[in-house]
Structure 1
Amino acid sequence: MVAQSLWMQKVAADPAHSRWYIERFRAMARAGEDLTGEARFVDAIAPRDAHILDAGCGPGRVGGYLATVGHRVVGVDVDPALIEAAEQDHPGPRWLVGDLAELDLSAHGITERFDVIVSAGNVMTFLAPSTRGLVLSRLRAHLRDDGRAVIGFGAGRDYAFADFLDDAAGAGFAADLLLSTWDARPFTDDADFLVAVLRPA
């Protein structure tokens, strides 16, 4: 049994946390805020009709958009409440409850590996620290040898960017491109956000 994610620890401490998170993004969508920047970036680098895994999909805003522009999307999240919201708000993708540290989509009949894997929304920082390398290894196992993984998260969340890149290398990834924003601004040593485009090493 792997360690419980920091996200599910939050949910255990406050059962209303998931509902708050869902309603926060629904309110932002109603207000017309731009919630698809990460998804547009992924769409720009993905082949047409790509097989895309939204790893840590939450209530589905990234994977939902990618499905509307023609990609074949599978979304996985450890929180059943978020998956339920994804199913309600973004029909189309296949949404699954699962722990990324134990990811084995063949158990769900999904044997085709992915062209692109995206992990947005600070997912990496909500993992139990002891599972970070394992999660990256599981993502690598689900990625095509010519595919790419796109992972973004902020600084100051107890996961140094250098440590993440070391963990990614240990999981069999090499960095293709490092950016500081989802709108493709260059990464700098003092950046407060990292968007890493990774390829199999």
Structure 2
Amino acid sequence: MSRWEELTGGTSGEGYAARFAALAESGQDPHGEARFCATLVPAGARVLDAGCGTGRVMIRLAELGYDCVGVDLDASMLAVARRQAPELPWFQADLARLDPAELGVTAGFDLVVAAGNIFPLLASGTEATVVSRLAATLRPGGLLVAGFGLDEAHLPVPPSITLAEYDAYCAAAGLTLVDRFATWDAHPYDDGGYAVSVHRG
């Protein structure tokens, strides 16, 4: 069982969506991840939203002209995503067992984005496998972007993965670090408790 399932019981989709809706209504911009992704690849690029949740990032990227596919294990989150954007392709799958063929992918993705603390919320011991599976969905030269917390202040669960470990998993999967930031607004990384990492295949 993933740490996410232990935390939520797989029933948090509506509450999760409501929290971000409230942020948007208060005037905050809920689209930092999508805006960041749009600086990395041009409109029309193929994007995999790995751990897409309720679809907040992917729906915005689709609105910006990206060719998107979303994958998540949590049925309650996907139910919200499908209701909000029924025209987009949403798949229920475990990232540790992800098969690109099941997504209808032949040429590979230009960008894979894993936002929302995906890696710290995986099932313990599957982190390297998930990196490998996501790397396998990339076209040559494609990018993997992951943002996640590194300490208790930035996570709903105890910290479980360090940047050194994540970089090692990426290297083992044939990925090279090209940039790292402290936020999705591209502030320089300062050894703080949250990092957005960009690796190239």
Which of 119, 127, 147 is the matching residue for 1:132? 127
> Whole-Å Cα distance in 2 between the matches of residues 162 and 146 of structure 1?
22
Which of 84, 88, 99 is the matching residue for 1:89? 84
Superposition map of 1:89-128 within 5 A: 89-128=84-123
Structure 1 segments unaligned to the other structure (5+ residues): none
Q: Secondary structure at the match of 1:117?
A: strand
> Whole-Å Cα distance in 2 between the matches of residues 125 and 92 of structure 1?
30
Letter in 1 for 2:15: W
Deviation at 1:16, TM superposition (A): 4.4
Deviation at 1:166, TM superposition (A): 1.3
Letter in 2 for 1:117: V
Superposition map of 1:24-173 within 5 A: 24-156=19-151, 157-173=159-175
Superposition RMSD on alpha carbons, in Å?
1.6
Deviation at 1:119, TM superposition (A): 0.5
Q: Work out whether residues 41 and 110 of structure 2, in 8 Å CA contact, stay in contact via their aligned partners in 1.
A: yes
Deviation at 1:91, TM superposition (A): 4.1
Deviation readout 1:90-128 (Å, 9 max, x if unpaired): 344311111100111312433231000001111111101
> Whole-Å Cα distance in 1 between the matches of residues 118 and 132 of structure 2?
15
Q: Work out whether residues 17 and 54 of structure 2, in 8 Å CA contact, stay in contact via their aligned partners in 1.
A: yes
> Whole-Å Cα distance in 2 between the matches of residues 178 and 93 of structure 1?
30
Deviation readout 1:140-199 (Å, 9 max, x if unpaired): 1000111111111111122111111111112221100111111111112x3221111100
Q: Work out whether residues 13 and 80 of structure 2, in 8 Å CA contact, stay in contact via their aligned partners in 1.
A: no
Q: Secondary structure at the match of 1:116?
A: strand
Aligned length: 194
Deviation at 1:53, TM superposition (A): 0.2
Which position in structure 2 is the counterpart of 1:176?
178
> Whole-Å Cα distance in 1 between the matches of residues 87 and 44 of structure 2?
14
Which position in structure 1 is the counterpart of 2:4?
7
Structure 2 segments unaligned to the other structure (5+ residues): 152-158
Letter in 1 for 2:54: P
> Whole-Å Cα distance in 2 between the matches of residues 112 and 79 of structure 1?
27
Q: Work out whether residues 61 and 90 of structure 1, in 8 Å CA contact, stay in contact via their aligned partners in 2.
A: no
What TM-score comes out, normalization by structure 1 length? 0.90
Q: Work out whether residues 75 and 96 of structure 1, in 8 Å CA contact, stay in contact via their aligned partners in 2.
A: yes
Identity %: 40
Deviation readout 1:20-53 (Å, 9 max, x if unpaired): 2232223323333211001101011112200000
